[in-house]
């Protein structure tokens, strides 16, 4: 079976999945993805894509329908995976005569929110969605949105995200050899949508509420980096390449994702795979699948400084329970291994090809 995977931007988790897909017997894969260099809020290097059959597109190429169409047609695919509906060049593939016999699979992670835009989408997207032979979603919230858009349940499959679970499992092995690290960790873009300002305000309140407060490490890049400068107890680690993240996770005891909007949140899965208890806001879609309150983590009201501070205090005061909570986290992360992701997609394609 021949597949063209029309992806968005490269990332550590996506590369792990694409590599596993390329190693799947019986599947000939070409990955298309956008690569804008290392100057933005992420700094992924080209080495991330080694051993992956791919064509990386510049931002201008990514918007050029004729080029994308030619690349896809030249691979003579049986199946085409398209990331969502917002990329014009990918949408244009549905109108290419040479691809009329292809089966299309769409990935989507947008959660159901009942906004006016989502209401309008019910009238705008149906013809596009009807052309899809399968829709791949990460979890419950996007499953509900797909249903809201009119997609038949029989076409919807869960598990669109995966990552290198084994690499992050090694973090747990390093952590259990020592006293549990009394350090909080945040990994993400330094942007308002990620709630970095809420995190810093909550961390201040936490420090005022406990003796011997834990430190907070922040890893990322972005417009809100100045918030971290000179903040007591806070270390700005900057952007951390995927290969270095497991070692970094091993040095920390609790992960925090305070996002205001997070369609799913793969980094939360990576934290769980590393054997950490987690705190995340209700806005994080992966909280539905990955977090059980007071079992392996805590769910926090979105955009609520006081609530987040209280949950940091809870973790601080229950440090003896954290190793066991972290072990439970690992079990929730296990189904998202890149190899299992590749197997899920392969089985979807094989079923469509019958």
Domain total of the chain? 2
> Residue 292 sits in which domain range?
165-335
Using the predicted structure, report yes or no on whether residue 43 has a pLDDT greater than 80.
Answer: no
> What is the band of 40 on the pLDDT scale with cuts at 50, 70, 90?
low
Report the candidate in 91, 169, 198, 93 with the shortest Cα–Cα distance to residue 338: 169
**Rounded to two decimals, what is the model's pTM?**
0.94
CATH of the domain at 185: 3.40.50.2000
User: CA-to-CA distance for 299 and 311, rounded, in angstroms?
Assistant: 9
Do 191 and 294 fall into the same domain?
yes
pLDDT at residue 353, rounded to an integer: 87
225, 331 Cβ separation under 8 angstroms: no
CB atoms within 10 A of CB 324: 12
Burial of 66 (0-12, 13-18, 19+ CB in 10 A): exposed
Do 343 and 322 fall into the same domain?
no
Q: At how many degrees (to 10) do helices 116-124 and 140-148 cross?
A: 60
Do 106 and 226 fall into the same domain?
no
Strand 103-107 and strand 134-137: pairing?
parallel
Do 288 and 304 fall into the same domain?
yes
Do 109 and 246 fall into the same domain?
no
Do 192 and 310 fall into the same domain?
yes
Do 179 and 328 fall into the same domain?
yes
Using the predicted structure, report yes or no on whether residue 38 has a pLDDT greater than 60.
Answer: no
What is the average pLDDT across 146-154? 97
Using the predicted structure, report yes or no on whether residue 220 has a pLDDT greater than 90.
Answer: yes
Do 189 and 330 fall into the same domain?
yes
pLDDT in tens, 221-276: 999 999 999 999 999 999 999 999 999 999 999 999 999 999 999 999 999 999 99
Do 154 and 221 fall into the same domain?
no
> What is the band of 294 on the pLDDT scale with cuts at 50, 70, 90?
very high
What is the average pLDDT across 48-76? 95
pLDDT in tens, 82-128: 999 999 999 999 999 999 999 999 999 999 999 999 999 999 999 99
Using the predicted structure, report yes or no on whether residue 39 has a pLDDT greater than 70.
Answer: no
Using the predicted structure, report yes or no on whether residue 37 has a pLDDT greater than 80.
Answer: no
Using the predicted structure, report yes or no on whether residue 41 has a pLDDT greater than 80.
Answer: no
Do 290 and 236 fall into the same domain?
yes
Do 328 and 202 fall into the same domain?
yes
Using the predicted structure, report yes or no on whether residue 336 has a pLDDT greater than 70.
Answer: yes
């Amino acid at each position: 079976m021949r597949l063209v995977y029309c992806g968005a931007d490269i990332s550590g988790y996506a590369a792990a999945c694409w590599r596993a897909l390329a190693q799947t017997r019986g599947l000939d894969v070409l990955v298309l993805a956008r690569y804008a260099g290392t100057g933005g809020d992420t700094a992924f290097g080209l080495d991330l894509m080694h051993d992956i059959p791919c064509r990386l597109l510049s931002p201008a190429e990514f918007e050029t329908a004729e080029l994308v169409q030619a690349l896809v047609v030249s691979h003579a695919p049986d199946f085409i995976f398209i990331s969502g509906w917002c990329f014009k060049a990918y949408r244009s593939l549905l109108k290419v005569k040479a691809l009329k016999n292809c089966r299309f699979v769409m990935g989507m992670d947008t959660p159901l929110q009942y906004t006016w835009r989502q209401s309008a989408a019910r009238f705008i997207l149906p013809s596009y969605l009807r052309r899809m032979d399968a829709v791949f979603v990460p979890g419950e919230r996007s499953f509900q949105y797909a249903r809201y858009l009119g997609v038949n349940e029989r076409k919807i499959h869960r598990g669109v995200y995966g990552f290198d679970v084994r690499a992050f499992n090694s973090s747990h092995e390093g952590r259990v050899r020592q006293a549990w690290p009394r350090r909080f960790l945040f990994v993400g873009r330094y942007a308002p949508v990620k709630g970095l300002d809420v995190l810093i305000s909550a961390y201040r309140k936490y420090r005022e509420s406990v003796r011997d407060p834990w430190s907070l490490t922040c890893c990322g890049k972005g417009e809100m980096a100045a918030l971290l400068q000179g903040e007591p107890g806070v270390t700005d680690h900057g952007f951390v390449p995927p290969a270095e993240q497991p070692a970094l996770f091993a040095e920390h005891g609790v992960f925090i994702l305070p996002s205001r909007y997070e369609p799913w949140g793969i980094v939360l899965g990576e934290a769980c795979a590393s054997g950490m208890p987690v705190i995340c806001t209700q806005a994080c879609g992966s909280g539905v699948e990955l977090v059980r309150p007071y079992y392996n983590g805590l769910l926090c009201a979105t955009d609520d400084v006081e609530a987040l501070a209280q949950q940091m205090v809870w973790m601080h005061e229950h440090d003896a329970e954290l190793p066991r909570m972290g072990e439970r986290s690992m079990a929730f992360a296990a189904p998202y291994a890149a190899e299992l992701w590749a197997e899920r997609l392969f089985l979807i394609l094989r079923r469509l090809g019958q």
